[in-house]
Structure formats: structure tokens, C-alpha cells
Amino acid sequence: MTKAKDLTQLGHVSKLPASPDEAVLERVANPHAGSDYLIRFAVPEFTSLCPVTGQPDFAHLVIDYAPGKWIVESKSLKLYLGSFRNHAGFHEDCTVGVGKRIVAEIAPKWLRIGGYWYPRGGIPIDVFWQTGKLPSGLWVPEQGVAPYRGRG
């Protein structure tokens, strides 16, 4: 069982990983493993690079999950997500890839990620992915990100 003393980033000086593949996503034991509850991470300033032009892309990610045995350690998640700043990937690859990486690390009962991307070529692209079965009776609020409206 991972305990705070076993973590390599929390409480230590940590550099931003050069890529998502190099990033270490850490987990800790769920302190309420016998209860169904929701954890939400809102990431309003996610950035990656367009794999064609190399220009930056911006998104607001919302990650909701019902933990099982493990929860994501938040500093490691911040560093992992920050490592996308130099990563070239399409919106779909980045959004679904983040969701799959978290699932691989912590095996949640249920996970949903919404990637609300700002326009590229005049078209906003929103990407949604989920896995697992939502525990019965679990309250899951709306993600709260309005659709892109431009200046209107």
C-alpha cells in the first residue's frame, strides 16, 4: 500500500517531465475505500501542441472518477498534465490518453473525462470518454463547462 512517505514527488522538488511517457503518475490508498464517492479534477489551462503545425492548443479538462482501492496523488497529476505542453497530439489522443493513463494507474470503479478544446481552424472540438460502470446512486454533477460561443 502506497503511503505518503513512499511518494517521490509530493513534498519534494520536482521538475516538469519532458513528456507524458516520462511522467510518473502516483497513487495513494483510498481513505474511504468502503464508500462510493466522486473525485473531480478541473484543469482549466491544459495545453498541448498541434502535431501538424506545432502551435499550442488549449483545453479545459474535467476528470471525474469514483475511486476503488486507489486515488490519484494530485501533485503527480499536475506534473503529468503539465508534461503535455511539449507533446504533439490531436485533441482526441490527448483527452482519451489522459483518461486511459489514469485508469491504468488506479483502476477506478468509473471514470469520465471531458476535454473542452478551444477552436482550431475555427472549430471547437470537445472530446468525451468514460470507462467502468457508474456506481448506483452516486451523485455526479454536470461538468459545468459551457459550450464554446466565441464573443457572443
Per-residue pLDDT of 18-73, as tens digits, reads: 999 999 999 999 999 999 999 999 999 999 999 999 999 999 999 999 999 999 99
- Parent domain of 57: 4-132
pLDDT band at 149 (very low <50, low <70, confident <90, very high): confident
Q: What is the CATH number of the domain that holds 43?
A: 3.30.1130.10
Catalytic site includes residue 57:
yes
Q: Which of 36, 50, 93, 126 is catalytic?
A: 50
The number of angstroms, rounded, from the C-alpha of 16 to the middle of its chain's C-alpha atoms is: 16
Q: How far is CA 23 from CA 66, 75, 131, 141, in A?
A: 23, 11, 22, 30
Contact 113, 98 (CB under 8 A): yes
Q: What is the pLDDT of residue 11?
A: 59
Which secondary structure element, helix H or strand E, spans residue 74, and what is its range?
helix 74-82
Contact 73, 29 (CB under 8 A): no
Please count the structural domains in the chain. 1
Residue 98 lies in a domain: yes
Residue 44 lies in a domain: yes
Q: Which of 6, 21, 36, 57 is catalytic?
A: 57
Q: What is the pLDDT of residue 122?
A: 85
